[in-house]
Chain A
């Protein structure tokens, strides 16, 4: 499917940078509202027929993700250290899919809504010293209609109001939950024994045919892989075709934007990018919307510094790149007596949200959710090296043979916004196009590690209650990277302490908007894509309204 095309010199209403979870929705919203849209995507376009069950390629050779060779990054724990590149064979600190549809292709598709508390935690709990802990400028009620849009238009399967503390909703899910797996049954068994409230997991995967796409065939190559039957609700199969169907949207792959251009009046005029032949191009646009993810969006703004915007574009607050959050988390691998065969079907079928909210009695900030999952595909599973796990020899071989009898109970938890945790520009390292690379600075707040350990202990209790005969605990270490890239261009009402307003317009540049994980103010509990897409539905609607009123 392809829509109309535009020439770079042709003025379009909007250029959208990035085609992932947020960019796909944004393209759909703006083009269906009647505007001409060009979406520029770093990576190539892949069809369903291009996705294969090749663990080596996807998990070890950066088949669809940013590669340390072409797109290198550096990492340091604190600002006083010199950042270095990860060792040979390691992945980048900030990992994302570099293809049309972005990380919505290979995500796990765990689609939890935020709750009301997520948006107002700072008011409820008070300040936390040394952090950038703050309320969002919007509420759950503001976002609820857009969560519903995601569920129906992108496609989410689930059971509404399944647990007594679920957030309120205006409409049920469009599809029933995915079939329960043995890991889900065991999580539910253990949790119910402990008096908890396990519930079916909402997933952005079709449990039955929906919106012209088939139901899941349970192949098991879901997390880390693109879906070959289009049952996973990736932007590639949902929002991007809808945008192209308007006849007003062009998806332009292998177009790597490295600078947002501005004029003397301080307005964005378009973006400069490399095409697939590494030729420099300029796409003119009346407005620019950056949806490049929580790593690439701040990098683009910082690399777009000019004499007028010396510290980076839209960075009068100094907050561009700051407050990076990954979501902490730790899990327990559990071995049972009989086969679960959990490598079949989707990752997750049951969740436990009893520990979602911060409980002051614990003595630290944070909360989270637990889910049941099979963990990785065979080679990645074999290479796990947790304390007590045999790593070679006869005992290792016995562990390999236990693969069908194992599952992972995983805790997904909060990260506090810390000013020093950031995406900045490395002073020397450049990528394969000669563009200054990302430098990540990250050290978990002590409370992040405490809540992670707390939830891991709960995972262990649940697995033991379910009858696990052997367990292995994730070391619960400090983060050295992540795939949830959050908070780096936070939204807020005060231009001194935020980068965008509550409609995603940058405080400094009237016709520049940002929407992706960078917009987050707090981290949620580990499953951000649902909220990223709800924000994008909402932002797209408001941006279109502004454009129609000539308020851009």
Chain B
């Protein structure tokens, strides 16, 4: 069992700002200092937990038609239902931000892929103007025919990132993706962590020379 400093020992420790604490340490703290500054250690963990990078502000990037198509594809990849899907996580906002900023290099390939996807859909489903306007059954049927293409893989990656990475990038709204996965968004945990280690009796050493 991990022994950790007593949190109650740190009532005066808030006098030292978190950043000063981190910069003062350099790995040369004493055990007593750690015990006295447990609050700052927790604070450092919380800071790391909450300070994901925020992308630069940008104008809306996707056209309305692209947004509808990409949003429908994302919803097909992680559907809505009893639990949140890509739509509830606002993955499309992440995709817009990513293509406008830190994944801009993907844009030419992505737009060509989208055009190819749309054309293939119209050919396979006559009378339906777009993937976004198709029924769920039509969408799923078509998706089975393209789910090994490069464009699908790119959309799958963008959808997952938009649903499951930090909300600071525009997706994972209200941490919907993490809730879907059962990922608890805290920065410090203590054992037991799960059901199987809760009742663990401890490691039993082997008798000498017991290798079979």
Using a CB–CB cutoff of 8 Å, the interface residues on chain A facing chain B are 1, 47-49, 51-57, 60-61, 88-89, 159, 162-165, 177-186, 188, 195, 197, 199-200, 207-209, 211-221, 228-230, 236-238, 240-242, 244-245, 336, 338-345, 354, 378-379, 382-383, 391-394, 396-397, 400-401, 403-404
Contact = CB atoms under 8 A, between A and B. Distances in A.
B126 interface: no
B56 interface: no
Interface in B167-190: 168-169, 177-178, 180-184, 187-190
Contacts of B57: none
Interface in B20-36: 22-23, 25-31, 33-35
Given A89-B106, A215-B3, A229-B41, A379 B164 contact: yes
A280 B187 CA distance: 43
Interface in B133-166: 140, 143, 147, 156-157, 160-161, 163-166
Given A209-B34, A383-B156, A393-B79, A339 B85 contact: no
A99 to B, nearest CB: 15
Contacts of A180: 191, 197, 200, 203
Contacts of A396: 77-78
Going nearest first, the 3 A-B pairs with the smallest beta carbon separation are: A1-B26, A228-B48, A182-B194
B203 A162 contact: yes
Interface string B181-212: 11110011111111111001001011011111
A16 to B, nearest CB: 19
B8 interface: no
A177 B34 CA distance: 20
A177 B102 CA distance: 40
A400 B2 contact: no
Contacts of A392: 76-78, 143, 147, 156
Given A229-B45, A379-B164, A341 B184 contact: yes
25 contacts: A56-B53, A162-B205, A182-B195, A182-B196, A197-B206, A209-B5, A212-B29, A212-B30, A218-B188, A219-B45, A219-B188, A219-B189, A220-B189, A241-B26, A338-B196, A343-B183, A344-B184, A344-B189, A345-B191, A378-B178, A379-B164, A397-B85, A397-B180, A400-B181, A403-B182
A393 B143 contact: yes
Nearest to A185: B196
Interface string B42-55: 10110111111100
Question: Which secondary structure characterizes the binding site on chain A?
Answer: loop
B19 interface: yes
Contacts of B157: 89, 383
Among A219, A245, A394, chain B packs the most CB atoms within 10 A around the CB of: A219
A145 to B, nearest CB: 23
B45 A345 contact: no
Contact of B23 (A47, A184, A379): A47
B105 interface: yes
A49 B143 CA distance: 44
B193 A340 contact: yes
Contact of A197 (B30, B143, B211): B211
A54 B195 contact: no
A400 B191 CA distance: 24
B103 to A, nearest CB: 8
B116 interface: no
A228 B2 contact: no
Contacts of B205: 162
Contacts of B203: 159, 162, 177, 180, 188, 199-200
Contacts of B193: 179, 181-182, 218, 340-342, 344-345
B4 interface: yes
A214 B81 contact: no
Contact of B29 (A53, A213, A217, A220): A213
A89 to B, nearest CB: 7
Nearest to B155: A392
B194 A339 contact: yes
Contacts of A53: 48-50, 52, 166, 187
Contacts of B211: 164-165, 197, 354
B11 interface: no
B124 interface: no
A47 B203 CA distance: 36
Contacts of B188: 217-219
Contacts of A216: 2
B1 interface: yes
Given A213-B27, A228-B45, A393 B53 contact: no
Contacts of B169: 56
Contacts of B212: 195
Contacts of A338: 194-196
Given A180-B197, A197-B211, 10 more contacts: A1-B26, A53-B49, A159-B203, A212-B30, A213-B29, A214-B34, A219-B45, A340-B193, A345-B193, A392-B77
B81 A238 contact: no
